[in-house]
Amino acid sequence: MRVESWVYKVPLLLRSVFRRKDLEHELDEELGFHLEQQIEQNQARGMSQEEARKQATRAFGNIEIRKEECRDTWVVAALDHCKRDTRHALRTLRRDFGFTLGVSLLLALGIGANVAVFSIVNSILFKPLPYREPDRLVVVREMTPERDLTPRSVNALHYLEWRKCECFAEIALAEYAQELNLAGQGDPERVSSLRVTPNAFSMLDVVAQIGRTFVGVEGELGNDNVVVISDGLWRRRFGADPEIVGATISLDAVPYVVIGVLPAGFRYHGASNAHVDIYRPWGPVPAPWWTWTNNYSYTALGRLADGVSVEAALDQLNAIQATIAADQFDVENESLSLRAVFTPLHDLITAPSRAGLHLLLAAVGAALVVACFNIANLTLVRARARTREAGVRAALGASRLAIFRGVLIESLVLAAAGTATGVALAGAALRMFTSIAPTDLPRIDEVQMDWTALLVAAVLAVAVTVAFGLLPALRLTRVDPQAALRASNRSVTDSPHSVRVRQALVSVEVGLSVSLLIVAGLLLTSFLRLDAVDRGFDASNVLTAEVGIPWARYADDQAALRFWVSLLTELRDAPGVVAAGVTSSLPLRGYNWGSSAVREGENPPAAERPSIQYRFVSPEYFAALGIPLLAGRSFNSDDYGRTTAILSERAARLLWPDSNPIGRRFYRDSPDEVFEVVGLVPDVHSEDLAKDPAPLVYAPLTAAPVVFRVASVVVRTAADPSPAASTVRNAVASLDRELAISNVETMRQIESASVGDRRFQLMLVIAFGVSALLIAALGTYSVLAYAVTTRTHELAMRMALGARRGTVLAMVLRQGMRPVFLGVGFGIFAALAFGRLLAGLLYSVTPTDPTTLISVVVVTLTAAFLASLLPAHRAARTSLLAALRYE
Amino acid sequence: MSRPTTLVQGTLDLLVLKMLALQSMNGWTISQRLKHLSGEVLQVSDGSLYPTLHKLEHGGWISAEWKLSGNNRRAKFYSLTRLGKKALQKESDDWNRLSAAITHIVRLTEA
């Protein structure tokens, strides 16, 4: 029955919406027809035409009211009312622009922050990894509990034993990712490559989008010249050409056949976080280096066998570990044991960021609650001011439903505006987050706007706005028009209790914003001080790039050295280049080549030898990087083949605290390998600007155990260093057409990247701090505005009795600022109490830094003062006449 | 009570449905027919008929069609839908029960 009625209703509804004019026209015509007929009838009864028309019209009643009555019965009537109410809502909201702006801003902030953060947390922490049954995947690591504090990576020989364990359905091994020169089909480039056992893809249940992944025999020598490439590389370099499968590419001068292209978005989470473009098969081929018993440099990822619990699997694997330890550990290590450690893959990936993200989630959740409180307050102020309007409307015959609908629609319009702004804000925040987030944040490339979160936040926002819009509306609809028209604001006063609650809320908001701003200020100060730290080198006009030469064609050290020397000669002759050098590792990059240094003639036990970092460099490296020579001489080409050394100041102090190091001698590992100190240079930050520089020994390229095949080129230019990239690229290509350069960065960019984590934290805290300040200011405003509205009558009386405007202004300001001062106190107290937790994040600034504290207090008080000024000003302008008019 | 011609609330719907069950007609004709059939007892104000007609139309009980009237002018003709027929059945049953009950009571008091 009901359904059937829609057969008639729907066409009518569609017509009323899309052919409204027709409908109106028909209404005119229908009523007109009736009148005409009546007039004709009247005339037929003998009336004059004029009389006939008059009688007919009188009998019919007011035609416009009749039409309105008809329209009210139309299916479309509800829609009409909504449209009218929306127009009315928009008009009133425009009139109350401050209120509209405040509520939309609060909603936008609350929704935006929550959606953004929830999207991030959900993508990184909650979403399962994109593999089949990801919770059965475990990362296996090893440790010797008597010696190791944390688990280490895996030994490949041990892995071969683990493959026999029935606890795994499958277990795969991966090397660390490395960069290789990809040549053929266009310019050569250096791409990231990872070697994995052939079973890695089948274990994850990943199927190639074109071609296939590895099969078992491809881990064997002779079958292993095959690669699987990423979707990214396929599109970028090969133009998404499906013919790539079966084609041969050259990697470090070795030919490989491409057998497949992986699906878009695939990442082998089992290994390092680096983006990998080329996967090569790994197998136990007869090469000596991977068999080293102390080579723990692999990562192992296993899928647990069906029906085997994690504990049972670990027990089985540890039984195997025990036999390995018995077989392999030498006599000296006999008492040591060897254990396996399981970590669920998902936990391992997300562990470093979990605490931070949870904190973030809690923080935005709290911000949303506070924003809702403020919205409630603002809405109450407004409802109070509109009691009279509702009274007038009721008196003019508006139904309760109509008033109720009006308020409801107004709330919805507000919620819609807030949600839309919030979504835009969330989108912008997400884009900013992913662009400034440190690249080592896991799964950052999987972060995307979460529509569920958006829906939840939007529903919440609508609920809050509507709820706080409706509570007063319900009261309004119960308003007795007569009482409302008498409009006695004074008849309703708030209980002191609710006033105190509101003021406490302001205190909490201010306190929160003060403590956040203090943290932001401290981080900012640290950041600025860090920026001013003496790095020990001159970063202006320096370009760096990584170059790697393939072992396949530069098998002996002399060939490798010849390459580096020719490259530098080539570069030095290039226009615009002032100096060019090569180093095994750049400053601030943190790649370590640590060893020790012992004064010649001494032989302390291993534990007492000082740990010192080694850098193998070309002679002009110091000039290129602008590291001044403090004493002695720099390297020259005669040093190749000799074991000479230049020490950093710290290294020199470590070895010869009291005397001139020049001309002294020390050895690295064995007493046969003696270095002679020829020069002294200042300390250079090798890892983190915030950490003390490590003691460094610079030695000629030839002094390394093998001449490095991968090194960084450092070029100092006369002007802007960026164009030198092509100079380096051309120089490399002129020596070997199959070589490319990678990690092309100016030294300034490296500096900037080295503080990337700090910049990220700083941005987040500043964003939160500023939002909190905004919320606190709005809170101060709304509470005070509410108070002033309820006190209009009292204030008017005071002024009538002779209070000066200034006195009233000061009184209201005092009332507004009281909770603010309390909040500032809370905030400072919290910042001081928890300041110690920040110590690790700060650099050369104490958590009690007075400059920061004072600036934050000034900023907060100014904001709160401005927020209070508006209602105070309004209070001081209260006119007695206006206040008493409605008595 | 003093004006017996006042239409009992809601009965206009029933009357209109009944009229249209006999034949499809336009608003003017319905108003004339109502006056005539009730022997001028039922005074439906001319204008108030139309909101009722529109309500019934938008509720799906009657449907409208523009046709030429007797004097060759375009007029909106209403006719009963299937839904309207059912509604009429129900409404008239209700009315019969109600009026029978009232008649019964009225007779009682007079007896």
Span A694-703, pLDDT tens digits:
899 999 999 9
Q: Tell me phi and psi for residue A397, to 5 degrees.
A: 105, 10
pLDDT at B4: 42
Residue A706: predicted pLDDT: 87
The answer to which of A11-15, A20-24, A329-333 has the lowest mean pLDDT is: A329-333
Contact (CB, 8 A) for B14 and B42? no
Q: Does B51 touch chain A (CB under 8 A)?
A: yes
φ and ψ of A226, to 5 deg: -130, 150
Chain A residue with Cα closest to B76: A30
Cβ of A61 within 8 Å of Cβ of B46? The answer is yes
Rounded average pLDDT over A263-288: 81
pLDDT band at A887, cuts 50/70/90? very low
Which tens digits make up the pLDDT trace of A772-800? Answer: 888 888 888 888 887 787 777 778 888 88
Per residue in A181-232, pLDDT tens? 998 777 889 999 999 999 999 999 999 999 999 998 898 888 889 999 999 9
For chain A positions 20-59, those within 8 Å of chain B (CB to CB) are: 26, 29-31, 33-34, 36-38, 59
Q: Which long-range contacts (CB under 8 A, 24 or more apart) does A39-44 make?
A: none
Query: Which candidate from B50, B69, B86 shows the least CB-CB separation from A31?
Result: B50
Q: Calculate mean pLDDT across residues A147-170.
A: 88
Residue B36 touches partner A, C-beta closer than 8 Å: no
Nearest Cα to Cα of residue A728 among A738, A718, A710, A715: A715
Measure the CA–CA gap between A451 and A731, rounded to whole angstroms.
50
On chain B, the residues whose CB falls within 8 A of the CB of A36 are: 73
pLDDT at A494: 56
d(CA B27, CA A312): 87
The minimum CA-CA distance between A5 and chain B, rounded to whole Å, is 5
Tokens matching residue A179: 């960069």
Quote the crossing angle between the two packed helices A496-531 and A805-838, to the nearest 10°: 50
Tokens of A278: 């080329």
Q: How are the residues of chain A apportioned to helix, strand and coil, as percentages rounded to the nearest 5?
A: 55, 15, 30
Using a CB cutoff of 8 Å and minimum separation of 24, what contacts does A84-87 make? A85/A405, A85/A406, A85/A409, A85/A410, A86/A409, A86/A413
For residue A367, pLDDT beyond 90: no
Query: Residue A813: how many CB atoms within 10 A of its CB?
Result: 19
> So what's the pLDDT on residue A885?
57
What is the pLDDT averaged over residues A648-652?
A: 94
A210, A216, A220, A224: CA torsion to nearest 10: 10
- Interchain pair A5, B66: CB under 8 A: no
- Quote the distance between the C-alpha of residue A311 and its chain's center: 36
pLDDT at residue B55, rounded to an integer: 87
**pLDDT band for position A497 (cuts 50, 70, 90):** low
Query: Looking at residues A583-595, what average pLDDT do you find?
Result: 82
Considering only CB atoms, which chain A residues are within 8 Å of B66? 26
Q: Among residues of chain A, what percentage have pLDDT more than 90?
A: 33
Q: How far apart are CA A466 and CA A253, in angstroms?
A: 69
A59–B57: do the CB atoms touch at under 8 Å? Answer: no
Does A756 have pLDDT greater than 60?
yes
**Closest partner CB to A5 (pick from B46, B60, B74):** B60
Which residues of B are less than 8 Å from A7 in CB distance?
60
Name which residue leads in pLDDT, B8 or A727: A727
Give the separation between CA A188 and CA A179, rounded to whole angstroms.
Answer: 12
**Cα distance from A40 to chain B (closest Cα, Å)?**
11
Mean pLDDT, chain A, as a whole number? 85
Of the listed ranges A301-305, A614-618, A728-732, B7-11, the least confidently predicted one is B7-11
Which residues of A fall within a CB distance of 8 Å from B63? 8
Residue B85's contacts (CB-CB under 8 Å, 6 or more residues apart) are B21
Handedness of CA B31, B32, B37, B41 (dihedral sign): positive
Question: For helices B27-37 and B11-22, what crossing angle results, to 10°?
Answer: 100
**Alpha-carbon gap, residue A578 to A697, rounded angstroms:** 25
Instruction: Write out pLDDT tens, residues A843-863.
Output: 888 888 899 999 999 999 999
ipTM for the complex?
Answer: 0.86
Measured between alpha carbons, how far is A749 from A751 in angstroms, rounded to an integer?
Answer: 5
Which band of pLDDT confidence, cut at 50, 70 and 90, is reported for residue A546?
very high
CB of B78 within 8 Å of a chain A CB? The answer is: no
Q: How much is the average pLDDT of A250-264?
A: 93
The arithmetic mean of pLDDT across residues A134-147, rounded, is 89
Examine the pLDDT at A485 and tell me if it is beyond 80. Answer: no
Q: How far apart are CA A715 and CA A571, in angstroms?
A: 8
Written as one string, the DSSP assignment of A336-360 is: ---EEEEEEHHHHHHHHHHHHHHHH
Higher pLDDT, A315 or A72: A315
Question: How far apart (Å, rounded) are the C-alpha atoms in residues A413 and A407?
Answer: 10
Q: What is the DSSP string of A363-409?
A: HHHHHHHHHHHHHHHHHHHHHHHHHHHHHHHHHTT--HHHHHHHHHH
pLDDT at A714 (0 to 100):
96
Mean pLDDT is lowest, of A178-187, A211-220, A578-587, A650-659, for A178-187
Q: B58–A9: do the CB atoms touch at under 8 Å?
A: yes
CA A594 from centre of chain: 34
Nearest-CA neighbor of A70 among A29, A11, A41?
A: A29
d(CA A418, CA A414): 6
Predicted local distance difference test score (pLDDT) of residue A883: 60
Secondary structure, 3-state, chain B = CCCCCCCCCCHHHHHHHHHHHHCCEEHHHHHHHHHHHCCCCCCCCHHHHHHHHHHHHHHCCEEEEEEECCCCCEEEEEEECHHHHHHHHHHHHHHHHHHHHHHHHHHHHHC
Residues of chain B contacting A74 with CB distance shorter than 8 Å: 54, 58
Burial class (CB in 10 A: 0-12, 13-18, 19+), A9: middle
Which residue in chain A is spatially nearest to B73 when comparing CA positions?
A33
pLDDT of B3 over the 50 cut: no
Given the structure tokens 């990998």, which residue do they identify? Answer: A276
Are the beta carbons of A749 and A575 closer than 8 angstroms?
no
Of B45, B58, B75, the CB nearest to A74: B58
Helix (H) or strand (E) segment spanning residue A196: strand A189-196
pLDDT tens column, A711-732: 999 999 999 999 999 999 999 9
Q: What percent of chain A has pLDDT over 70?
A: 92
Interior/surface letters A774-808, b for 16+ CB within 10 angstroms, e for the rest = bbbbbbbbbbbbbbbbbbbbbbbbbbeeeeeeeeb
List the Cα angle A786/A789/A795 in 5-degree steps: 125
pLDDT at A358: 78
pLDDT above 60 for A134: yes
The full 3-state SS of A515-540, as one line of letters, equals HHHHHHHHHHHHHHHHHCCCCCCCCC
Cα distances from A46 to residues A33, A56, B71, in angstroms, run 20, 14, 20
Q: What is the CATH code for B11-110?
A: 1.10.10.10
pLDDT reading at A54 higher than 80 = yes
Each domain of chain B, given as residue ranges in start order, spans 11-110
Quick check: A70 and B50 CB within 8 A? yes
Write down the pLDDT at residue A747: 93
A56-70, A436-450, A511-525: least confident range: A436-450
Nearest to A874 by CA among A771, A790, A788, A748: A788
Query: Residue A353's pLDDT is what?
Result: 75
Is the pLDDT score of A822 beyond 80? yes
User: From CA B24, how far away is CA B36, in angstroms rounded?
Assistant: 17
Interface residue A253 vs chain B (CB under 8 A): no
Are residues A283 and A160 in contact, defined by beta-carbon separation less than 8 angstroms? no
Do A533 and A693 touch, CB atoms closer than 8 A?
no
Could you tell me which chain B residue has the CA closest to the CA of A74?
Answer: B58
Contact B43, B5 (CB under 8 A): yes
CB nearest B58 (choices: A59, A66, A73)? A73
pLDDT at position B68 over 60: yes
Confidence at A488, pLDDT banded by 50, 70, 90: very low
Local confidence band at A85 (pLDDT 50, 70, 90 cut-offs): confident
Nearest chain B CA: its distance from A346 CA (Å): 59
The whole-angstrom separation of Cα A591 and Cα A410 is 60
